[in-house]
Structure 1
């Protein structure tokens, strides 16, 4: 044993280990209001639906191109009535002078909010793109791309002249589960009353 080791052993003679708690004692640290607000925002943001609409480059439509889209299962008579503008418009979104990115967010939130409120027939005013130097209908082209990507949208088409013509689109949303149940209840009540 070296001199240093012998000296260390002599100094440590009679020393005992301190008692230790086997558990770690956790103390709650008071959190600032900003940290709490940030946590809440992060928690609610993860529950919100993610906007999946794309802003990738696409071929642009002519300003006077007539939009028409009908998801499988939508009756011809329903689509014809939509094209004729015979449904009451329950909500309107105007996208004039809005960037593509802003329009992407607004369209996504508009459709989600309309579904939450049980609305069925909407109008989106996108303009024809006359003020665009390229002469292309940029927002109209993206509306034509985005609406079929949203499963809530059952059909859409260019509006009648009195509602904006080729610069606007009627949008038909699917019925919410609550509205479907109301229809079932109404129809079943009619059957039982007629007996």
Structure 2
């Protein structure tokens, strides 16, 4: 054993392996390419937007698994306030007793309508799946998959206990161009006074 190896071994005495956080395993079954193609087709279509959310198999989450997603560019303080439930919920969708296909349609339409109405903070109640015959939270698992697929969604996280806890999710939507312009105008007025 060299001096470097011995010195390294001495320094490592008492060091314990870090325990990794529980991670969701993502199955790569080729459906991602299908989803991307569907999104591109929907974006270029002249008529109404098509629902591209997938209903292919998803890894089932534990009913109490805490959901969390933050798109790059979202300020940490803003996301922290979302997690704390500090933003007013402007709209709410309840997915209880819905099939996966019904939930898929409802989630897509709900996000689309919220964007048209210039809403920023909304909530989806997906439930925990306790009454489901499967071994996990089915609708919750699909909501966790669908929301990052929607470009309008800037971030989401499991709700505070008073709003449903692990059975609901707060969602932060992208600011519309109209709202961005209003902020620019307000900022410009404030500087010129």
**TM-score category of the 2 structures, normalised to the smaller one:** 0.7 to 0.9
Give the equivalent residue in structure 1 for 2:156: 156
1:59-70 alignment to 2 at 5 Å? Answer: 59-70=59-70
Write out per-residue CA displacement over residues 42-98 of structure 1, whole angstroms, 9 at most, x where no aligned residue: xxx961101000000111000000000000000000000000000000000000000
1:1-195 alignment to 2 at 5 Å? Answer: 47-193=47-193
Distance (whole Å) between structure 1 residues aligned to residue 178 and residue 150 of structure 2: 19
Structure 1 residues not aligned, in runs of 5+: 1-44
Once superposed, which parts of structure 1, at least 4 consecutive aligned residues long, lie more than 4 Å away?
none
Distance (whole Å) between structure 1 residues aligned to residue 159 and residue 135 of structure 2: 20
Task: Name the TM-score, length of structure 2 as normaliser.
Answer: 0.76
Task: Give yes or no for contact 2:90–2:119 (8 Å, CA) kept in 1.
Answer: yes
Aligned residues: 149
Q: CA RMSD in A?
A: 1.0
Other structure's SS at 1:179 match:
helix
- The structure whose Rg is larger is 1
1:134, distance to aligned residue in structure 2 (A): 2.2
Structure 2 residues not aligned, in runs of 5+: 1-44
